[in-house]
Structure 1
Amino acid sequence: MKSKFFTVTLFSTVVAFAPMGYTKTPAQADKVLRIAFEAPDDGFDMVKTFNFYSGNVADVIFERLVQYDYLANPVKLVPSTAESMPTIQDNGKVYIFKIKPGIYFTDDPAFKGKRRELVAEDYIYSIKRILDPKNHSSSFAFIDHKIVGANALVDQAKKSGKFNYDASIQGLKALDRYTIQFTLTQPDYNFPYILAYSTFGATAREVVEYYKDRLGMHPVGTGPYMLSKYVPRSKIELVANPDYRGFVWNFKSTGTAWDNQLVKEMSGKQMPQIGKVNISIIEEEQSRWLAFQSKQLDFDKVTANAIPKVLDQNNHLKPEMKNKGVQLYRNKEAEITYSMLNMRDPIVGGSSLDKVALRRAIALSFDVNEYIRILRKGQAVKAEMLVPAGVNGHNPNYRSSIGYNPVLANKLLDRFGYKKGDDGYRTLPDGKALTLKINTESGSASVMYSELWKKSLDAIGIRSDFRVSNFADNLKAATQCQYMMWSGAWHADYPEGENFTQLLYGPNVGRGNQSCYQSDAYDNLYRQAMQQPPEKRMPFYEKMSRQIEADTTWILQDTRIRNWLIQPEVQGFKAHPIMNSNWQYLDIASPRQNK
């Protein structure tokens, strides 16, 4: 899931409709969780965004058929709105889910005063929204050509200009009010993991048709929380859904000391306990660090600049932090970070040898190890292939063919006619000026990142121009293929390599493919990989990684190691490798317990 995206700013403040009656949730109103996002969301219609922060919120509003077990390692799925895990037929081609009766959407004006029960057709409708070409859903790649009959309806919509939501799809059927059957074009035992992704949460058709283009600001689901207040780019307030059925905290330890402590303090509790979640958008690292120090935040990732103040040389908490009762949880993200080059840009794009040489030289100029040392303060590992550790298809022995080599970079540029002028900067082979325009954002980390890139490019004689904007405008430009170079990160939406490799698949230009990259060789490898069961895809993912290195579309950078600091009042915290919202699994000690 993309970690930065643009923010909806249609209204300055939104106050959601609060449901009355039917109280079920065990959440306590005086238990308030205070957290921060390091970048803004862009609303909560996940069909139209892949914003990491939007997904955090959507995960606790919209329920999927299945979800992740909170503690299990390796990750595993458990039922959510489904009564049990699916019945699987025809060697993994047919999945049948039975939905629990008596689950209701939160009250909303769209329902005109009636209680609205969750039914199988809600999941079918939600998937049809993903299929609708007008929505340009990045999640379409997850189900493209996977559900029998679905693509025929997509093709029809492209021709007619309108998606027929009332048309039946052979592979997507409600067998009765609570039973949904998926029929796939080929066996896929990975399919339930796709259904656990936030975009596949149930949305009511009445709500979509009622709010239309404002849907992202009026999310209505069946999950443990609901949107209460929303100030775009500033604050998000969630309150416990009073109609939520609740659950018992009853997870099994994996045997670690951390898990053992969680089981000891949380087992048997009626959940959720948190009555309100206050989310502040704090983009500047120093401000977030100060907010945590002053106990305005209940947990947060240690910012890079604060690492020396918090951790010793062995990455353990320093005594002054321990004395405050603060806890440390370290985990390596299932992610990659990278710099993207726009393959449609007239300067850096294209497939001619001189263009490939230019992109390769740019990649060779950048010292990832120095970047990790300076920007990450050592809290990261170098990314070698498209699929990161912790995701199916990752090969821990794979090594990228592109390393730090400014000498070779200069030789490449000399060989392909990028000549240096009297000022030491190179021109294009036709003699015109060469300037690499790099989109970036404000903030101290972005400034340091830009300084590293300028140093790298100066060393090979390429002039750089850093264009500071916000994530909204940068993402919009990338989606429209109107930029030259930009950096991003992708966190696993589900533990399968296709979630990463689809980011460079040609048909996904305008969705997740922000490099606007189209390669017959790469696309053929991707399609071949999708024909294989997940356990046989690694060789294809390796070849795709080599193809990206050959074309130098991306410059892979790192996978971050997150150091979470947790205030002593917070109970039940653990960072999950895939699932990002853990608020429904937490508790806050009462004032009496604190004493």
Structure 2
Amino acid sequence: MKLRLFSKRLFPIAQALLLAGLVAASAPTALAAPAATANGADPDKVLKWVFNVAETGFDPAVTRDLYTAGINYTIFETLFSYDYMASPVKLIPRTAEALPEISADARTYTIRLKKGIYFTPDPAFGGKKRELTMADYVYSIKRLFDPKLASPHTWLFEGKIVGLDALANQAKKTGKFDYDAKVEGLELIDKYTLRLHLTQPDFNMGLILAHNPNGAVAREVIEKYRDVQGAVLDHPVGTGPYMVALDEWVRGSKIVLLANPGFRGEIWNYQGGSSPEDQKITAAMKGKRMPQIGRVEISVMLEDQSRWLAFQNDEIDIFELEGPLAPQALDDGKLKPELAKKGVQLSRIPDPEVTYYYWNMKDPVLGGFSKEKIALRRAMAMSHNIDEEIKIVYNGNAVALNYPIPPGVIGHDPNYKSMIQYNPAAANMLLDKFGYKKGPDGYRTLPDGKPLEVRYSARSGPVGKLQTEVWKKSYDSIGIKMKEDLLQFSELLKAEKACQLQTRNAPWLADYPDGDNFMQLFYGPNTGQNNNGCVAIPEYDKLYVESQKLPPGPERDVLYHKMARIMEVNAAQLIGFARYRSMLAQPRVIGYKKHPIIYGEWMFFDIEKRK
């Protein structure tokens, strides 16, 4: 029996989502290959990719960086994903048979799983084939709530699934998480059917289930390796199109992915737009059995110039052209003629992201809600020229934002104007008024006369160095001494999660294309997860909880506007910009197109064999 996608009572909401492009209106565009056919991966088709930071380990429940997430996407499969070609993005089934059935009150989701999907072989399975079942998704969701794991992704389901928070609270008391305990909201109808019971209406649950942390892991594997320090992160076992070649993995240097020989395969049948680029991709890819690429070799190169030279020397097939390198390949956002003549390809999109600046609200110097602390943060925000940073650090490859929700994401308001604007003269007057006096050296002190110094943290490397230089100029303009703090990416994330950084540029790329994913960045209970500024404002938190009960639309937008103003009044952060993502590909790459949500699109395109 064909599943119904939406109930009649929810039709207006469903229609809104369809028009927004968030869900597919008909059958999924990625067609499953016949069970008897293997995937089309050719071991002689080798893709050479590059990361600009080191990987952090392969466990979807705990990793939170974009680059590792790309690898996790190909290993651990979620129930849903996104159409490779559709614009705006569309949700489609992945391991699920179809999109979920949603009850009339939007509090019950029924999802059915495809049969015959298997994990890659592992000693944990005792030599037997291990089929993916809905129990694996229940276990994977529960893991996000295990206090010992301290997952940064708990927020995805926090307060949403009936009984799940109570199980986590019990574990905090007893010191042991009971994975065998039944949770009312995670109802297993049978081996292949899961029914989610929610505490309140949730219109993003399908999108949340498509997010990487909800990729299925096998309990046997986790339990076999979890007692060895770091072993779970080092031992990925999933059902996806690729698997890590552990014997070739050199930490922080090289990762090799091999096509999973047991992957069920898909027939490429996506429908793009009418642009020449989309038409070319469709003509080249339609009907191919995926994945085609048998081996993905990922090198870690921290230096921009090293990546650029490697691409020029044909040692890399695809790489991201970050801001500092843009002039080497682009003129006004377009590929330079000499590169186009060589057949180099450019896929360039405005990322559904926001880079914002935060000041740690738990910091004894910068945090707090007294008038003088708010004045200090407001002056810092007003001292910074965002347009200048875009020009110097990113060579113009970004667009300044006023609103926390970026373009391309449901809830964005292009007409919103922030009350905090660049004005260093007014910033200096504000500091004078609230007692931040300048000493003989030209730098200000705190109102009590103690020294004032701000520690600005950034990722080590050329981009981070440029960021610190631009911010030092801003702080100098208002007489505040700044100390540079450059850290390795993994160290930066760890310190940030623990509220140990004072201030930095924090980029956030959409986990799912809805405004909720951005407004949760400033929600108090998300401190230690995604709330990098460790801010907790009761008025904001109350409105955020209310917003989650509403579908996308004008009523929710009103709440989002109020929340944005609350953040501005308290000067807890400053909205910065959204970057363009420019990906360069060698002529041999076939059918590549940068997806706005998926990172690690390796199973969706092809490549010619190297000669």
Q: TM-score, normalising length from structure 2?
A: 0.91
Counterparts in 2 of 1:188 and 1:357: CA distance versus 1, 3 Å: same
The alpha carbon displacement at 1:258 in A equals 1.1
Residue 260 (1) aligns with residue 279 (2): yes
Q: Does 1:169 align with 2:189?
A: no
Superposed displacement of residue 486, structure 1: 2.0
Q: Which residue of 2 aligns with 1:399?
A: 417
Deviation at 1:475, TM superposition (A): 1.9
Aligned equivalent of 1:4: none
Out of 501, 506, 509, the position equivalent to 1:491 is 509
What residue in structure 2 maps to residue 84 of structure 1?
98
Question: Aligned residue for 1:304?
Answer: 323
What letter corresponds to residue 391 of structure 1 in structure 2? V
Residue 205 of structure 2, aligned match among 175, 178, 191 = 191
Residue from 213, 234, 247 that aligns with 1:217: 234
* 1:357 counterpart SS class: helix
The answer on 1:446 being equivalent to 2:464 is yes
Q: Aligned equivalents of 1:327 and 1:25: distance in 2? A: 27
Pairing partner for 2:133 from 110, 119, 127 = 119
Residue 18 (structure 2) aligns with: none
Q: Residue 555 of structure 1 is aligned with which of 569, 574, 591?
A: 574
**1:190–1:534 contact (8 Å) kept in structure 2:** no
Secondary structure of 2:486's counterpart equals strand
Aligned position for 2:9? none
Report Cα offsets for 1:479-503 as digits up to 9, x if no partner: 1122211222110000111211212
The answer as to whether partners of 2:427 and 2:478 remain within 8 angstroms in 1 is yes
SS of 2:506 mapped into structure 1: strand
Residues 1:480 and 2:498 aligned together: yes
Amino acid in structure 1 at the alignment position of 2:386: V
What aligned pairs does 1:246-325 form with structure 2 within 5 A after superposition?
246-313=265-332, 315-325=333-343
Deviation at 1:512, TM superposition (A): 1.4
- Tell me how far 1:304 sits from its aligned partner: 2.5
**Deviation, structure 1 residue 561:** 1.1
Matched, 1:29 2:43: yes
Matching of residue 363 in structure 1 with residue 377 in structure 2: no
The CA deviation string for residues 330-378 of structure 1, in whole angstroms up to 9 with x for no partner, is 1000001122211111111111111111111111111001111111111
- The amino acid that maps onto 1:281 is V
Aligned pairs (5 A) from 1:96-107: 96-107=110-121
Contact 1:372 1:379 in 2 (8 A): yes
Contact 1:387 1:541 in 2 (8 A): no
Look up the match of 1:431. 449
What is the distance in 2 between the residues matched to 1:41 and 1:548?
33
Tell me which of 123, 131, 135 is aligned to 2:145.
131
Distance in 1 separating the partners of 2:535 and 2:203 = 29
Cα distance in 1 for partners of 2:562, 2:172 equals: 32
From 110, 117, 122, the equivalent of 1:108 is: 122
Distance 2:362 2:610 in 1: 58
In the TM superposition, what is the alpha-carbon distance from 1:309 to its structure 2 partner?
2.9
Cα drift, residue 183 of structure 1: 1.5
Q: 3-state SS of the aligned residue for 2:148?
A: helix
Distance 1:529 1:374 in 2: 37
3-state DSSP of counterpart to 1:231: coil
Shift of 1:308: 2.3
Return 5+ residue gaps in structure 1 as ranges.
1-21
Give the secondary structure class of the aligned counterpart of 2:245. Answer: strand
Shift of 1:312: 2.4
Match of 1:204 in 2: 218
Aligned-partner SS, 2:172: helix
Of 525, 544, 556, 2:563 maps to 544
Matched position secondary structure for 1:372 = helix
SS at match of 2:183: coil
Alpha carbons 2:464, 2:486 under 8 Å: kept: no
Q: Do the aligned residues in 1 keep the contact of 2:45 with 2:610 (CA within 8 Å)?
A: no
Choose which of 333, 350, 371 in structure 1 pairs with 2:351: 333
Q: Which amino acid aligns with 2:399?
A: V
**Aligned residues, how many?**
570
Post-superposition shift, 1:23?
A: 9.1
Give SS of 2:40's match. Answer: coil
Task: Report SS of the residue matched to 1:202.
Answer: coil
SS at match of 2:167: helix
Q: Does 1:56 align with 2:75?
A: no
Name the CA distance, whole Å, in 2 between partners of 1:538 and 1:581.
Answer: 32
Quick one: distance in 2 between partners of 1:59 and 1:467? 32
* Cα distance between partner residues in 2 of 1:303 and 1:523: 35
Alpha-carbon shift at residue 305 of structure 1 (Å): 3.2
Greater alpha carbon shift after TM alignment, 80-89 vs 401-410: 80-89
Deviations 1:99-145 (A, max 9, x none): 11111000011112111000110011111111223322222111112
RMSD across aligned positions (CA): 1.5
* Aligned counterpart, 1:226: 243
- Tell me the distance in 2 between the aligned counterparts of 1:259 and 1:91: 38
**Equivalent position SS for 1:358:** helix
Deviates more, 1:27-36 or 1:71-80: 71-80
Residues 590, 234 of structure 1: alpha-carbon distance in 2 compared, 3 angstrom cutoff: closer
Contact 1:64 1:200 (8 Å CA) reproduced: yes
Return the alpha-carbon distance in structure 2 between the equivalents of residues 309 and 203 of structure 1. Answer: 42
Residue equivalent to 2:53: 39
Is the CA contact (8 Å cut-off) linking 1:234 and 1:281 kept in structure 2? yes
Give the CA deviation at 1:402: 1.0
Instruction: Look up the equivalent residue of 1:279 and give its one-letter code.
Output: I
Tell whether 2:165 aligns with 1:146: no
Q: What is the CA–CA distance in structure 1 between the aligned matches of 2:39 and 2:328, rounded to whole Å?
A: 40
Contact 1:41 1:52 in 2 (8 A): no
How many angstroms does 1:160 deviate by? 2.0
Moved more, 544-553 or 410-419: 544-553
- Equivalent residue, structure 2, for 1:521: 539
Residue type of the partner of 1:311? L
- Residue type of the alignment partner of 2:112: K
What residue is the counterpart of 2:28 in the other structure? none
Aligned to 1:135, what secondary structure does the other structure show? coil
**Deviation for aligned residue 1:303:** 3.2
1:343–1:517 Cα contact (<8 Å) kept: yes
- Cross-structure match for 2:391: 373
Instruction: Give the Cα separation in 2 of the matches to 1:543 and 1:41.
Output: 38
Cross-structure match for 1:7: none
1:182 Cα deviation (Å)?
1.0
CA distance in 2, matches of 1:355, 1:81: 50
Query: Alpha-carbon deviation of 1:418?
Result: 0.4
Partner of 1:384: 402
Q: Name the SS of the counterpart of 2:331 in structure 1.
A: coil
Is the 1:136–1:510 contact (alpha carbons within 8 Å) kept by the matching residues of 2? no
Residue 570 of structure 2 aligns to which amino acid in structure 1? D
Q: Distance in 1 between matches of 2:274 and 2:107?
A: 35
SS of structure 2 residue aligned to 1:355:
helix
Give SS of 1:92's match. Answer: coil
Unmatched 5+ stretches in structure 2: 1-35
Distance 2:445 2:55 in 1: 40
Kept in 1: contact 2:460–2:489 (CA 8 A): no
Whole-angstrom distance in 2 between the partners of 1:112 and 1:30: 31
Q: CA deviation at 1:591?
A: 5.3
